[in-house]
Amino acid sequence: MKIKIGTRASQLALWQARYIQQRLEAAGAETEIVAMETRGDKVLDVALSKIGSKGVFTEELEEKLLNNEIHIAVHSAKDMQSDLGDAFEIIAFTEREEPNDVLISDRPVDLSQPLIVGTSSVRRIAFFKKHYPHIQLVNMRGNLQTRLKKMRDGQCDALALAFAGVNRMNYNELIVHRFPLNEFIPPVGQGTIAVEIAVSLDSEIKKIVKEACNDTQTEKCLVAERTFLKEMKGGCSIPVFGYARNTDQGIRFTGGITSLDGQSTITIEQTGTAPAELGRAVALQVLENGGREILAQIKRNP
């Protein structure tokens, strides 16, 4: 059977789909890529936080999964909503690349000086307001190539992006600053690719995809992160962050939330060996130590 791989049509999304395709074909599977535009790709003049945070990049692909038009859907894990419902599941997470945020520009930049930075992430906006309050921020939507064109047309001096996407598109020479993980804590899933399926998918295809594409160490971290995100009820309109990594003592997980202005940040770090329980425990600690108040404030003043 030919495994049909669903993906968004951007260059980065297609890179990710081809990466999964290579893994599957190396395992002996026949494949076909089915590309399409999603709501998040079409609506570019509005911030993500304003057009709805649930399934903005996944809804149309999930319809094709249910209709059996595709067998798997390939996503950036950071774009996946925290609750997939009963009809879908993530069957594989690829080995994670560096999860850092980076700044890219065509010229050298000095973060201590006035600067216009393009970003569409409420988390990055909050961290900029906290650590670099003198920097002006402008909403910047679209795929990486679209954003680069906007920057080169003079809409901003630099772009804040995930290292993984910049690296996959071979724009590393444009990186002018790499934000440390303790300053810009990544969002859940940044740096890894997620493979989503309908629960009803043929068991033989599930087995092939799982064995060919899933990295078990990354999966442990992402289970902790996504459990945390689900408990926090986080989406792209809420500046929640979460980053897990494997250590000799177990999974070390840092999770939290920041106010939209970056002035109030709750960060909890714990280590555990049971990923889901760890993510749930960190979420509870964040909520009990001021996170509920920040969430309530954001919902009152989106």
Q: What is the set of active-site residues?
A: 78-79, 123-124, 141, 147, 236
Cβ atoms < 10 Å from Cβ of 180: 9
Q: How far apart are CA 27 and CA 232, in angstroms?
A: 37
- Which residue type occupies 291? G
Q: Which residues pair with 93 in a beta bridge?
A: 194
Q: What share of the chain is helix, strand, coil (3-state, %, to 5)?
A: 40, 25, 35
| Residue at token pair 């297609």 | 14
Q: Are strands 101-104 and 158-162 parallel, antiparallel or unpaired?
A: antiparallel
The per-type count for the chain, helices as H runs and strands as E runs, is: 11, 13
Cβ atoms < 10 Å from Cβ of 88: 22
Q: How far apart are CA 123 and CA 165, in angstroms?
A: 17
The conformational region for residue 6 under phi > 0 = left, psi -120 to 50 = alpha, else beta, is beta
Helices (H), the chain: 11-26, 39-42, 48-51, 59-66, 122-131, 144-152, 163-168, 203-213, 216-232, 275-286, 292-300
